[in-house]
Structure 1
Amino acid sequence: MGKFCKCNGRLLCMCLLPFMMTGHLLVYILVTIFVTISYAPPKIPVHFIAPGSSSNSAKMASHPLNAFWNLRLIDSALWNSLQHGCDRLYNPILRGNASMAVQQTKIKLDPSSVGCVSNCIPEIGSHTVANELKAMSDQMRAFVSSMRCREYPYIINQPGLCYNNETLDTPLLLMAIKSQMGNFENRQAIRDTWGRSGHVSGEYNIRGGLVRTVFLLGKQDSNPKSNFHDLLQKESEKYGDILQWDFKDTFFNLTLKDVLFWRWFKQYCPKAIFVFKGDDDVFVRTDALVDFLNKQWEEHNLWQAYTNETDKGLDLFIGEVIYNAKPNRDPSTKYFIPGSFYQGVYPAYAGGGGVVYSGSLALRLKEISDKVSLFPIDDVYLGMCLSKLGVVPSHHPGFLTFDLPITQRGNPCAYKSVLLVHRRSPREMVALWNHLRNLRMRCFR
């Protein structure tokens, strides 16, 4: 009898074993799913708080810190809510749930924005953020009320800038410089020095390239006694390098200059190999930059020939890169971003004084910008677009958007390894240009 029970016990164990193993597996799967859902990425230490000097990019990992599509709604800040809707709307997996994403991000904005059709958010809903808007500054409220607008007509256009005898040119470098209506002296100093349009020789006269220069402007409320509009028209007729759109030229609207320039670039100058985007108070050693870009283009062509990938563009983006910057919460600064508008750490971006990127990347930026909600700080917005593309900006020590040490600024030879320095007045640009040309043989051996 005991022996029979013992045998039945073994048989029972053998019968129950598959069920026990299945049960353990089911528990493991449930625990794994729960851990995945509740997982929060570790907090990233802040290496730099903008604005200020950049961190050492060599110590940072060369890959995006965040996922391409952000599927979770982080906090309730306005920009985060709008971008969350964009991310869900353009996620190919979740595209079927687009209506749900829109409902989650319905924002009631200023009625004046109703006529502006957004590329991201297809409709305005009933969720009110009136209290948050009241607490914002006048500058931020003005931006929010028009941040869905991306279509502005030209006041002055230059459709033939990159054409020669009705044939599309291939400039090595297109210089797109953000300026304002009244900055006549800045533009003229740039034309006379580092932004001269035409063939530019390299630093050692070995090789050069075709450079085209264009200035990006909005419109400003000028003094009735001033004749800025007439002067700008005459300037455009004389030099043919003014691009002006019909939007108010404010600090928070600098982002529009990037978005509208990319559209202009695609239509009128898509063959430019590289683009410089900068302010009209920087100084660029154009001959050294031309040498650098020729080398990058030659290496890219050699790589294409070796890999036989002739259809793949060059994703080059260089500048003074800032990592893990937090929004500035000081209301007294022009960089102030309230928590009700944006929450989180900025993606890696380059200081807005000046950056260089490839023409093929400019075309990709134009496309991806339609899927990124406008942000009031232009260099941060550019970093957001790069993050969506999975492109990491490369730090270059020659881009000094926060200037040289004060003890070195008067020494021309201190500029030996500099490609760009910020800031310089028109008079300082001309003086520095002459000093560097006269001292070339002594300083740049």
Structure 2
Amino acid sequence: MSYIAVLLLGALLLLYTRRMKATTDQQSSHDQQKHLERKAMTVKHGSFSYQKSSPPQCQQNMAAANVTGFNWLSREIQDFLYYRHCRHFPMILDVPDKCGGGDHPADVFLLLVIKSPAHNYKHREVLRKTWAKERLHNGVWIRRIFISGTIGTGFEKEKMNRVLALEHEEYHDILQWDFNESFFNLTLKQILFLEWMDRRCQHASFIFNGDDDVFAHTDNMVEYLQSLGDNTGSKHLFTGQVIKYARPIRNPNSKYFIPVQVHESDSYPPYCGGGGYLLSKYTCLAIYTVSKTIPLLPIDDVYMAMCLESANLTLTPHAGFKTLEFSIPDNANVKFDPCFLRDQLVVHKVPPVYLFVTWQELHHPNLQKCKVTI
């Protein structure tokens, strides 16, 4: 072999070696970048995690447009029908250890599950200092979580998500999914929570499910639940203000308008007012199981009752739940009177500023001097 041929062969070998090294370095850099991206998707801090898991994106059900009268429905109702089958959305904020983990379940007697859109920051701050404060009462633990979706798009969505993320870093008490907060997605929020409970929190004995604008006497709730004797959450319980003989509202101008394309029946089963009600863990998991075969309905409290009926379970009325205005005495200020509230479990529509003051008054020693129970 000539000297020139040897030099040429050597040059080719050097070029090949360098190319292989560059390819290996590029792959290594790519793998490292992927690892960092995956790591960035899950940021753990204490007992909470930020994790935007990504189930397959749910597609429109185009067959919904074939429903009679579809073109006459509002855009919101059309969208509800298009995406009614969608029940899995990316989770943005999680509290995986709220009820303990693995072989070490936490002793959660009453889990407060509070529906709260991102912009209701003041409500959440007041609740954390009042009836939703995590604490030991009568020897058992009360814990809380807020459940939320997203609001708006672009800049607004980014800022509202940041609000929840900052709260979450401090309090570790928010579950958030990447779906749009709206009246038509209230039931979806309930289903997503039940799925989370099935995975993360089967050990909580009882659940209070309510809005962030209610007064909830959680001390009284614990004492009521403890009075049930042998029901430690392993038996059926669903109690609240029971509403009977309700019908779907067919008036298109009503917020609660439900057309026949969404719900054909002209009646609803008896249901508990959605401002707040109590369930056992047994009942929560039973509802979640049957919900997989029942199409979603925008009215979340009615939907829960439909699932309950399908599971052959019944409601228990309780006079301490005041979720409808007509169930409160005819006095504009009585709902803020601690002498009235001391005997209640839930009263709907209490502004945060009144709630904060009333909770302090309710626990004042002089409250014992109330002469009359209203």
SS of 1:227 mapped into structure 2: helix
Distance in 2, Cα, partners of 1:152 & 1:213: 22
1:282 aligns with 214
1:93 aligns with none
Counterpart selection for 1:193 from 122, 126, 130: 130
Counterpart selection for 2:341 from 397, 401, 415: 415
Question: Does structure 1 residue 219 correspond to structure 2 residue 141?
Answer: no
For residues 23-422 of structure 1, what are the structure 2 equivalents within 5 Å? 116=58, 129-163=66-100, 167-199=104-136, 201=137, 207-221=138-152, 224=155, 227-296=159-228, 298-300=229-231, 313-344=234-265, 345-403=267-325, 404-407=328-331, 408-422=334-348
Mapped contact 1:330–1:336 kept (Cα < 8 A): yes
User: For residues 189 and 128 of structure 1, do their structure 2 counterparts lie closer, same or farther at Cα, with a shift above 3 Å needed?
Assistant: closer
2:362 aligns with 436
Unaligned runs of 5+ in 2: 1-55
Could you give the per-residue CA deviations for residues 30-85 of structure 1, whole angstroms, max 9, x where no partner exists? xxxxxxxxxxxxxxxxxxxxxxxxxxxxxxxxxxxxxxxxxxxxxxxxxxxxxxxx
Q: What TM-score comes out, normalization by structure 1 length?
A: 0.65
User: For residues 300 and 409 of structure 1, do their structure 2 counterparts lie closer, same or farther at Cα, with a shift above 3 Å needed?
Assistant: closer
**Match of 1:333, as an amino acid?**
S
Q: CA deviation at 1:441?
A: 2.1
Q: How many residues align?
A: 310
Mapped contact 1:413–1:443 kept (Cα < 8 A): yes
Distance in 2, Cα, partners of 1:117 & 1:372: 19
Q: What TM-score comes out, normalization by structure 2 length?
A: 0.77
Q: CA deviation at 1:166?
A: 7.5
Mapped contact 2:290–2:307 kept (Cα < 8 A): yes
Distance in 2, Cα, partners of 1:440 & 1:165: 44
Distance in 1, Cα, partners of 2:173 & 2:103: 17
**Match of 2:320, as an amino acid?**
G
Q: CA deviation at 1:300?
A: 2.9
User: For residues 160 and 338 of structure 1, do their structure 2 counterparts lie closer, same or farther at Cα, with a shift above 3 Å needed?
Assistant: same
Mapped contact 2:118–2:163 kept (Cα < 8 A): no
Distance in 2, Cα, partners of 1:257 & 1:427: 27
User: For residues 434 and 115 of structure 1, do their structure 2 counterparts lie closer, same or farther at Cα, with a shift above 3 Å needed?
Assistant: closer
Higher relative contact order (CA 8 A, sep 6+): 1
Q: CA deviation at 1:371?
A: 1.2
Distance in 2, Cα, partners of 1:165 & 1:238: 24
Mapped contact 1:279–1:352 kept (Cα < 8 A): yes
Mapped contact 1:386–1:392 kept (Cα < 8 A): yes
In percent, how many aligned pairs have the same letter?
Answer: 34
Give RMSD over aligned pairs.
Answer: 2.5
Distance in 2, Cα, partners of 1:340 & 1:361: 29
Q: CA deviation at 1:402?
A: 1.5
Could you give the per-residue CA deviations for residues 372-399 of structure 1, whole angstroms, max 9, x where no partner exists? 1111110010010000011111111100
Unaligned runs of 5+ in 1: 1-113, 119-123, 202-206, 302-311
**Match of 2:251, as an amino acid?**
D
Q: CA deviation at 1:434?
A: 1.2
User: For residues 126 and 211 of structure 1, do their structure 2 counterparts lie closer, same or farther at Cα, with a shift above 3 Å needed?
Assistant: closer
User: For residues 406 and 431 of structure 1, do their structure 2 counterparts lie closer, same or farther at Cα, with a shift above 3 Å needed?
Assistant: farther
Question: Which range moves more in the overlay, 254-263 or 218-227?
Answer: 218-227
Q: CA deviation at 1:327?
A: 0.4
